[in-house]
Amino acid sequence: MSTNAIESVLKDKTVIIPTQENADQLLSGGYGVACENESGIVLTSYEALYLQCEYRISVMDHDNGEILDAHTLLERLRVSDSEAWTKYLIYRDLRSRGYVVREGVGWGINFRVYERGAYGEHAAKYIIQAIVEGAPVPVEKLEETLRLARNNKKEVIVAVMDRRGEIVYYSLDQLNLHRG
């Protein structure tokens, strides 16, 4: 554990950075959202896992004061987000490629991704739809995602995670269905 790790708290299945100075530092890097009616920020499950695995935060259990390791944190976060592990792997991969990745807004979209150097200056260019190999995805969901993305001038990227946790990205530009 890094001695420079920012202290955070797991409270009610949510990871919170309570100190405003630390919160501002993470917010400017594209992490978390401001807490309502109080100082600090709230992290998504995958942001918390990523920052903990990068030794940028340490997570303390609010109820008993225990410092949580990554495995314990994941198990606790999975209670409220069954896709926490999948989202974390895709998030980590995109961050390692230099992208700022934010939570998707509506539409069942997993992530919004900003071009390198564009965060805070421009809107997200890409939306990411995560798919796990072997899990069925209704074609109608992909059609709706593509339609909404076009209406909002975004590009759709489908992130397919295989059984080994490897991720392959596909651009979804058009979807032609021939019903017969």
pLDDT tens-digit profile of 66-121? Answer: 999 999 999 999 998 888 999 999 999 999 999 999 988 766 678 989 988 888 88
Q: What's the CATH number of domain 84-172, 3.30.70.340, 3.30.160.270, 3.40.1350.10, 3.40.50.1100?
A: 3.40.1350.10
Task: Please state, rounded to an integer, the average pLDDT across all residues of the chain.
Answer: 88
- Residues 9, 12, 15, CA angle at the centre, nearest 5°? 35
**Measured between alpha carbons, how far is 21 from 113 in angstroms, rounded to an integer?**
25
Q: Is 38:11 a contact under the CB 8 Å cutoff?
A: no
Q: What's the CATH number of domain 6-78, 3.40.1170.20, 3.40.50.2000, 1.10.3720.10, 3.40.50.300?
A: 3.40.1170.20
Q: Is the pLDDT of residue 178 over 60?
A: no
The mean pLDDT of 50-67, rounded to a whole number, is 94
- End-to-end CA distance of the chain: give it in Å, rounded: 59
Q: Are strands 155-161 and 126-132 parallel, antiparallel or unpaired?
A: parallel
Residue for token digits 């999948």? 86
Question: Which of the four pLDDT bands, split at 50, 70 and 90, describes residue 180?
Answer: low
- pTM metric for this prediction: 0.88
Residues 6+ apart with CB under 8 A from 176: none
Q: Is 48:77 a contact under the CB 8 Å cutoff?
A: yes
